[in-house]
Amino acid sequence: GDSVTQMEGPVTLSEEAFLTINCTYTATGYPSLFWYVQYPGEGLQLLLKATKADDKGSNKGFEATYRKETTSFHLEKGSVQVSDSAVYFCALSPLFSGGYNKLIFGAGTRLAVHP
Amino acid sequence: EAGVAQSPRYKIIEKRQSVAFWCNPISGHATLYWYQQILGQGPKLLIQFQNNGVVDDSQLPKDRFSAERLKGVDSTLKIQPAKLEDSAVYLCASSSFRQGQATNEKLFFGSGTQLSVL
């Protein structure tokens, strides 16, 4: 079945460091791909998405490119801030889901940014 | 705009007891989801409603879990009887998705109900 694999955390960085969180997926066809973020004490919220191969999603300085050839959707940010400390979830929406919108999540990667 | 509301925020029960969680989605959202998030894992879909009909409950342990969305608005998820392995955060989400649209609509999540089964 469809699945998402993320790099294990926690990822600990100093402020202004470069961030990469790896995400790969297994799915039939071309699913839509997402990154959701969960800040402490809050619900998950959409960070960015890409719906077809070679699309780049971006938001708040974060970027991820849909790579069909490597089945990947790695999250990157050039300069992280303390406020980026959160848990990041990669997710996919299967192409064939009976016509209904559903999300399959990875295990999440905790990011801790220190001043 | 009001977000997805869930209650209670925390619940502690003993095994074999029953428990219920409530969710009120964003107004006008046709699709409602219940996810289970076990510590250290990603959210797993338990059940998905389109209006008041179930469209996916393939991962719902139906011998102990039940859910309803009677009027197509708010929803209740129940566990009876609870087991130790049910300890998790139960997330409710909603989406404006309607059948026939592209399957990449954003989901809006509530803050969740943290359940501890002792």
Residues A86-109: b if buried by 16+ CB within 10 A, e if exposed: bbbbbbbbbeebeebbbbbbbbbb
Q: Does A53 touch chain B (CB under 8 A)?
A: no
pLDDT band at A98 (very low <50, low <70, confident <90, very high): low
Q: Which residue has the higher pLDDT, A28 or B8?
A: B8
Of B44, B91, B103, the CB nearest to A97: B103
Chain A contacts in chain B segment 98-117 (CB below 8 A):
99-112
**For B62, phi and psi rounded to 5 degrees?**
-70, -15
All residue ranges of chain B with pLDDT < 70 are 1, 99-104
- Beta-carbon pairs below 8 A across chains A and B: 78
Q: What angle do CA B104, B110, B114 make, to 5 degrees?
A: 125
Of A89, A93, A108, the CB nearest to B104: A93
Q: Is the peptide bond before B8 cis (omega within 30 degrees of 0)?
A: yes
Task: Report pLDDT for B16.
Answer: 96
Average pLDDT of chain A, as a whole number: 92
Task: Report pLDDT for B51.
Answer: 87
Q: pLDDT, tens digit, for every residue of A61-96? A: 999 999 999 999 999 999 999 999 999 999 998 876
Task: Report pLDDT for A102.
Answer: 81
Q: Is the peptide bond before A10 cis (omega within 30 degrees of 0)?
A: yes
Nearest CA in chain B to A110: B40
Integer-rounded Cα Rg, in Å, for chain B is: 14
Task: Report pLDDT for A30.
Answer: 84
